[in-house]
Structure 1
């Protein structure tokens, strides 16, 4: 059974297509198209009544080892053979990456029956494959604003576009778009696996493509975005369009053994991740999910965290489930920070917590000072926990240990889930802890950090200040 795309621009039979000719050319070069490649080619290469390609932009986001280069290589070769003096260009995150892609294409073309028809120059910085029509397949530097100055383009490939931020993508477009203006039917192919929160340029095309943007052919294969078990290789196999053709389950297993969970999910599941590493591995986080509430009448602790840019803050509660495990609940997450101290005072008055944890040297420092002022000037009881760098390191370690052993669970909440996906890492005293920096899409990590601090507060009640639990 073939893997179905998650999104795909449909074929319009009212238009003829060069998809079949490109597929035949690829087969003649020794690389018959797989069904997914033929589907993309048939749609992306539809032509209008003037014989021009209908889609000036083609976006293909698919897993690694699916055959992206094979598909675009055939498109480039067809363009080089049929368009007089075609300008064919390849770029990627670094010039050497683009040169590697160019080399793969040139090698395959030279080793095919097309070999006697092309001339190759491989000098570093001057890579060029010339077709009998005068068309040239070349490399350009995506990071240079002047790389395409004075050039023309009939087909440009941006490979592994996940590597570019929105600003870097703008530089590419400033170079490429003018080169297409005088070439009827010119196309920009953006091809990539999924990215991270830093992949803002590709993400903008993904969102537009999913929404059916006009004059863009969009194709996406990958595991579902709501996947719970990111270690289920059978799931990856069902959604990878090359499985059963050029790779099998063993190849996926071999790759998984060599890669971290987040790397494998992005590369072989085409699964978007919000940071370069998992703050918490998804199987561990999902396995710690519960719908149980904190048992009433038991001890409770509260903690607050603030995003590094102070755009928002969060409060989490920690208590016990009926069977004695530590349970985390997200109590509040709101924009700004001015609301946090009054809300903590309200919660302390109502629930009489064993501790309230706020890091005084973090972006939540003003919250800590406000609570201290209330204790001094108004006599309002708030069991603020002593907290510094050693306690921060302990809080992270204890929270992860609790999830691993099953001693800690979290009440399911979409904002907590989003924070886990968005949270990056930093080093403090040679230990990796979670970063307070927001993700590129603005998602705040504060709920996750507040959860760890709340669990720490429950495990370390403030000495000599614990009152009787209110009935």
Structure 2
């Protein structure tokens, strides 16, 4: 394997050598010890290059091997396949293979062994009726549970008659949509910690959950390609290039959210504070009503002495009639920069009551579906960056525990729904309050009647 990687112009780095030394172990019958290999590493670590080398190695060592490659889409798989083609044609292997590049029938054929490497689109009908010796799937974070189940169901039957077959799944860390990959990670971690030896080989390089994923020292310490194919300076976090959450996922290989949690509990815990808001600093309020209208909550956002935004639970009660009067009382007492109440969500009746009153002007911030998605993204990034804190309260902690995610306008954000009596309303209100503080409504001047000249 090391010789093949070197021939392709990418000698194995130590982490890659560790992977192949383990994943390619043979049992007493000369078959591969592990039928499934799961590998998750940060971006730019060389996972795709390794996958291409593994496929090439199998093509050169197994007679008439049927090898297949897939990724998020067929075009993504073709891009990876072309990289294997380019590396092979630039090496001493060039004379030993023939390449067909026509769309729909791409193949690398190896004359010495009669093996072939092809690509396929992910899906339930993928490689139907084929027989495979090795299948590689890149960036599995992209698939949800239903898509992943269809893909694995398509792959497994193709290997039943091939005793030396393997499937390799490789990826960076996923997001809330990665409902297929996340259980693989959880099970892999549990198996490694328990010292279990099954038929799955699990490998992971990532910044531990209790360390800051934006700290360059941490990223460098846990990125396996630093000092080999990538320099530390290339990993400096630049918020102009990507969000904090995306950076944490890409280069720290750290899960910020998943289907089973809205925010990683360790990220939430390190943003806990007992400090009070800075005196005379601007504040905002947000109100959220439970989906079943059995109760509601008001949360405030303000500034701490160190400049961070902090959110604090103000009140939580059963019923809904109390919410608008209580908000008006808070507005008169504190003159907030913004009040955020979603006019299209469960709190629409509260929003209506505030707009219809005339004695106290409520500085209501406009909130559309796009604004809600933005508020969610800003809150998550703030937690990752530690620029947002939460004043310790058991109701906020309870809201985080039950919070899951949904997709709005192709973006993942917090879901308002939950089990009766276990809604994440307090967390939703915290997200909206922080958004109101960051985006207060502009003052609208009173109209004036001016006589014509």
TM superposition score normalised by structure 1 = 0.68
Cα distance 1:450–1:202, how it changes in 2: closer, same or farther (>3 A)? same
Would the alpha carbon gap of residues 73 and 221 (structure 1) be closer, same or farther in structure 2, given more than 3 Å must change? same
Distance 2:180 2:387 in 1: 41
The residue aligned with 1:137 is 117
C-alpha deviation, 1:126, in angstroms = 0.9
Pair 1:222-2:181 in alignment = no
| Structure 1 counterpart SS, 2:136 | strand
The separation in 1 between residues aligned to 2:126 and 2:242, in whole angstroms, is 35
Alignment of 1:261-280 (within 5 A): 261-274=244-257
| Deviation of the 1:37 alpha carbon | 0.4
Q: Are residues 273 and 254 of structure 1, via their aligned partners in 2, closer, same or farther at CA, if it must alter by over 3 Å?
A: closer
Residue deviations 1:364-409, cap 9 Å, x none?
A: 338849999xxxxxxxxxx998586637879969x98xx99x9986
Residue aligning to 2:141: 162
Q: In structure 1, how many angstroms separate the alpha carbons of the residues matched to 2:58 and 2:105?
A: 21
Q: How does 1:294-305 map to 2 (within 5 A)?
A: 303-305=286-288
Question: Residue 365 of structure 1 is aligned with which of 344, 347, 355?
Answer: 347
Task: State the shift of 1:133 in Å.
Answer: 1.7
SS of residue in 2 equivalent to 1:390: coil
Cα distance, 1:226–1:408 mapped onto 2, change above 3 Å? closer
Q: Could you tell me how far 1:25 is from its partner in structure 2?
A: 2.6
5+ long unaligned stretches in structure 1: 1-21, 373-382, 428-432, 461-471
Ranges in structure 2 where 5+ consecutive residues have no aligned partner: 442-453
Q: How does 1:96-245 map to 2 (within 5 A)?
A: 96-131=75-110, 132-143=112-123, 145-212=124-191, 214-228=198-212, 230=214, 232-245=215-228
The SS at the match of 2:341 is coil
Structure 1 residue 63 and structure 2 residue 46: aligned? no
8 A contact 1:290–1:410 mirrored in 2: yes
**CA distance 1:233–1:256, shift in 2 (3 Å):** farther
Q: Which residue of 2 aligns with 1:463?
A: none
Within a 5 Å distance, the mapping from 1:394-413 to structure 2 comes to 410-412=390-392
Per the alignment, residue 447 of structure 1 pairs with 427
SS in 2 for 1:273: coil
1:23 alignment partner in structure 2: 2
Q: Is residue 437 from structure 1 mapped to residue 415 from structure 2 by the alignment?
A: yes
Contact (CA 8 Å) 1:330, 1:451: kept in 2 or not? no
Confirm whether residue 390 of structure 1 aligns to residue 366 of structure 2: yes
Alignment of 1:269-348 (within 5 A): 269-274=252-257, 290-293=273-276, 303-306=286-289, 315-317=298-300, 328-330=311-313, 339=318, 341=320
Q: Deviations over 1:210-264 (max 9, x none)?
A: 111732111111122233361x223211111001111112332498764343333
- 1:134 offset after TM fit, Å? 1.6
TM-score, with normalisation over the residues of structure 2? 0.71
How many Å apart are 1:161 and its aligned residue?
0.8
1:50 aligns with 2:45: no
C-alpha distance in 2 between matches for 1:135 and 1:312 = 65
Question: Of residues 60, 72, 78 in structure 2, which corresponds to 1:93?
Answer: 72
**Residue 100 (structure 1) shift:** 0.6
What secondary structure is seen at the aligned counterpart in 2 of 1:173? helix
Q: Which moved more, 1:105-114 or 1:165-174?
A: 105-114
Q: Mark the CA change 1:84 to 1:256 in structure 2 (over 3 Å): closer, same or farther.
A: farther
C-alpha distance in structure 1 between counterparts of 2:275 and 2:120, whole Å: 56
Deviation at 1:449, TM superposition (A): 3.0
Is the CA contact 2:290–2:423 (under 8 Å) kept in the aligned structure 1? no
Q: 1:72 to 1:418 in 2, by over 3 A?
A: same
Contact 2:69 2:120 in 1 (8 A): yes
Q: Residues of 1 paired with 2:345 and 2:201: CA distance?
A: 44
Contact 2:142 2:174 in 1 (8 A): yes
For residues 331 and 102 of structure 2, what CA distance do their matches in structure 1 show? 74
Q: Quick one: structure 1 residues 274 and 105, their matched pair in 2 at CA, closer, same or farther if it must change by over 3 Å?
A: same
The answer to whether the Cα contact below 8 Å between 1:304 and 1:358 also exists between their aligned partners in 2 is yes
Secondary structure of 1:211's aligned partner: helix
Aligned residues: 403
Q: In the TM superposition, what is the alpha-carbon distance from 1:74 to its structure 2 partner?
A: 2.4
SS at match of 2:45: coil
Pick from 60, 81, 94 the counterpart of residue 60 of structure 2.
81
- Quickly say closer, same or farther: Cα 1:448–1:244, change in 2 above 3 A: same
Whole-angstrom CA distance in 2 between matches of 1:184 and 1:75: 18
CA deviation map 1:416-439 (0-9, x unaligned): 9959x9778979xxxxx9965359
- Contact 1:358/1:365 (<8 A) preserved: no
